[in-house]
Structure 1
Amino acid sequence: MKISIELWRDVAGWRWDVPDDEVCGICRVPFDGCCPSCKMPGDDCPLIWGECSHAFHMHCLIKWLETDSSQQQCPMDRRPWVTAK
């Protein structure tokens, strides 16, 4: 049996409050998508901002900071990473 959809109406939607062309500086995936570790965007794949004003997928940043080469610095400007409040 085939079903055809004649009308579609969204009842809700979400977007991160970042410019449309912004991508994660680590994985290069747009913020309205999800990081390579996740299957679904949204609350399970949140963004995290630093005091330097750069934003990343939380999972990407955690993996980055766990590497020895990160030296606990922002991957974009190499300042010491401090999470914005």
Structure 2
Amino acid sequence: MKLTVTAWRDVAGWRWDVPDDEVCGICRAPFDGTCPTSKFPGDDCPLIWGECSHAFHMHCLIKWLETPSSQQQCPMDRRPWITAK
């Protein structure tokens, strides 16, 4: 038996609502994976957005902001870091 698909309709889709590139700007790991701090997917490693519209793994951003050289600025554009609401 041979079937030919003549039409196809996507009824649902899923994707992260992230900026153009889909990797963390700090660790360069994909958002659908985990950051280097997490060992397994689902280890509570949510994404965090800034008002500048850049997204990062939460663990990566916290680690970045704790360093003195960060000066509490976004690692991508060096604007003062403000978490989006």
Is the TM value for this pair above 0.5?
yes
Percent identical residues: 90
Partner of 1:53: 53
Aligned residues: 72
If the length of structure 1 is used for normalisation, what is the TM-score?
Answer: 0.76
Q: How does 1:35-74 map to 2 (within 5 A)?
A: 35-42=35-42, 44-74=44-74
Partner of 1:33: 33
2 CA distance for matches of 1:19 and 1:82?
A: 17
State the Cα RMSD in Å: 1.9
Q: Which runs of 5+ in 1 are unaligned?
A: 1-13
2 CA distance for matches of 1:66 and 1:36?
A: 17
Paired residue type of 2:75: P
Deviating above 3 A after TM superposition, structure 1's stretches of 4 or more consecutive aligned residues are none
- The answer to whether 1:22 aligns with 2:15 is no
2 CA distance for matches of 1:77 and 1:19?
A: 14
Q: Which runs of 5+ in 2 are unaligned?
A: 1-13
Larger Rg: 2
Structure 1 position 43, deviation (Å): 6.3
If the length of structure 2 is used for normalisation, what is the TM-score?
Answer: 0.76
Structure 1 position 20, deviation (Å): 8.0
Structure 1 position 16, deviation (Å): 2.7
Whether the aligned pair in 2 keeps the contact of 1:15 and 1:32 (CA below 8 Å) is: no
